[in-house]
Amino acid sequence: MAFRKEPPYTHGTAEQTAVVLVNLGTPDAPTAPAVRRYLKQFLSDPRVVEIPRALWAPILHGIILPFRSARSAAKYASIWGADGSPLKVHTEKQAMLLRGYLGERGHQVQVAHAMRYGAPSLPQVLQQLQEQGCSRILVLPAYPQYAGSTTASVYDAVFAHYAAQRNVPELRLVRHYHDHEAYIEALKHSVLAHWDAHGRPDKLVMSFHGVPRRTLELGDPYHCECHKTARLVATQLGLTDEQYLVTFQSRFGKAEWLQPYTAPTLRRLAQQGIRRVDVMCPGFVADCLETLEEIDMEVRQDFLDAGGREFHYIPCLNENPAWIHALTDIAEEHLLGWPTMSNAAARDAQARELAISREQARRLGAVQ
């Protein structure tokens, strides 16, 4: 195996720790050429499209890329902001805030963001961190629910990068946080804030990104983790089974995907006399094409055209302080045991933990 050229090892160099927040990715611009480059990388990933390459390549290069790129570019243009892609903007801000929150808790770590597809690429960011002397790296995918096509694909990219490295850093990879208490709490606060401002709906719909049903039958836990997230959020909101629904969006191709599908479900609700629906997308931690265009534009129109009266989209967590707090909790739990704190911060943390333990013991004694 040919190894890439690496920075020379210097004995005695202080070791550093980094956290890499990894999201799916986005085209560089809302243009057909940029979208074509992005889709080519995305849809060439065997984790994303589990069809033999010999069968898939002609379809991808002969049909999908030539004809879908321009249509997708128009959709991207409809959500593109002055600062660029919403997903890119939100992910950059989340990484910046995460670094600040971790710093406030005494952690001396670098925090970077990367994209699985597009820029900044995950291998590029990992290489930069190595050049900066990071010998401990925590990879934190922006996917609360584990799926082979998302989380495992990030793992693939990390391992492929280091397969050609001689001096491999210590690695930790977050698998999921679909049922993490702070993540669920952030979702709850997001919904309640929307309801405080706009009132409550007849039905809350939690729409997750779809995957082929075949993945569930082959053992992928994604479907179950989506339902657990929804169940926990509904419980926190005090909803009955009749007051919320779980659906799956973004179906691609003719194969059966996880059901029920979001758009047909919303049309059916309108036809059944449901006047107002609120839709949220708990599987996305940053607003993007699938939430802003597909849900807040296309599905909204589907519901209204079918007779619905009010459609409310509840934005993704984005830079919601409750979410950044949750993201910090998740990162901190996975940093446990790594020397990321200054001596003074470590002593303060130990003192806080001791005080909490004493208070818990005192309360337990009072109850008994």
Q: Is the pLDDT of residue 282 over 90?
A: yes
Range of 302's domain?
181-313
Asked if residue 41 belongs to a domain, the reply is: yes
Answer yes or no: is 354 within a domain: yes
245 and 168 fall within a common domain = no
Task: Please report which confidence band the pLDDT of residue 366 belongs to, taking 50, 70 and 90 as the band edges.
Answer: low
Among candidate residues 313, 329, 351, the one where a domain is terminated = 313
Q: Are residues 144 and 167 in the same domain?
A: yes
- Tell me if 290 is assigned to a ligand binding site: yes
Determine, yes or no, domain membership for 360.
yes
Quick one: 222 and 166 in the same domain? Answer: no
DSSP 61-113: IIIIHHHHHHHHHHHHHHH-BTTB-HHHHHHHHHHHHHHHHHHHTTB--EEEE
Which pLDDT score, from 0 to 100, does residue 316 have?
98
Q: Indicate the DSSP class of residue 243.
A: G
209 is in an annotated binding site: yes
Residue 281 and residue 290 in contact, taking contact as beta carbons nearer than 8 Å: yes
Residues 34-55, mean pLDDT to the nearest whole number: 96
Question: Are 255 and 303 contained in the same domain?
Answer: yes
223-270 pLDDT, tens digit each: 999 999 999 999 999 999 999 999 999 998 889 999 999 999 999 999
For residues 239 and 278, is the Cβ–Cβ distance under 8 A?
no
- Phi, psi torsion values for 353, nearest 5 degrees: -65, -40
At residue 9, the pLDDT reads 64
Question: CA angle at residue 197 from 241 to 270, to 5 degrees?
Answer: 45
Query: pLDDT digit string (tens) for 149-173?
Result: 999 999 999 999 999 999 999 999 9
**326 lies in the same domain as 358:** no
Provide, rounded to the nearest whole percent, the portion of the chain with pLDDT above 70: 89
- Structure confidence by residue, pLDDT tens digits, 2-39: 666 666 666 656 789 999 999 999 999 999 999 999 99
Instruction: Report CA Rg, the chain.
Output: 22
298 shares a domain with 201: yes
Instruction: Please say if the pLDDT value at position 350 is more than 70.
Output: no
Q: Do 57 and 133 have their domain in common?
A: yes
Domain total in the chain: 3
pLDDT (0 to 100) of residue 221: 98
- The pLDDT value recorded for residue 12 is 59
* Same domain (yes/no): 75, 219: no
Amino acid 356: pLDDT: 58
* Residues 199 and 250 both lie in one domain: yes
Give yes or no for residue 368 having a pLDDT over 70.
Answer: no
* Domain identity same for 363 and 285: no
The pLDDT of residue 14: 73
> Does some domain include residue 242?
yes
Other C-beta atoms closer than 10 Å to the C-beta of 45 total: 15
Residue 347 corresponds to which tokens in the numbers above? Answer: 């002593």
pLDDT of 352: 60
Q: What is the pLDDT of residue 15?
A: 84
Q: What is the pLDDT of residue 252?
A: 86
Same domain, 24 and 162: yes
The DSSP symbol for 48 reads: T
In a domain, 9, yes or no: no
Q: What is the pLDDT of residue 349?
A: 57
**Does residue 112 share a domain with residue 89?**
yes
CATH of the domain at 105: 3.40.50.1400
Instruction: Assess if residue 332 is contained within a domain.
Output: yes
- Can you name the residues that pair with 312 across neighbouring β-strands? 278
Of 183, 27, 54, 246, nearest to 118 by C-alpha is 27
Residue 8, domain member (yes or no): no
DSSP 308-350: -SEEEE----TT-HHHHHHHHHHHHHHHTTS--B-HHHHHHHH
Taking the model in full, what pTM does it have?
A: 0.90
Q: Looking at residues 79-98, what average pLDDT do you find?
A: 98
- 2 domain residue, yes or no: no
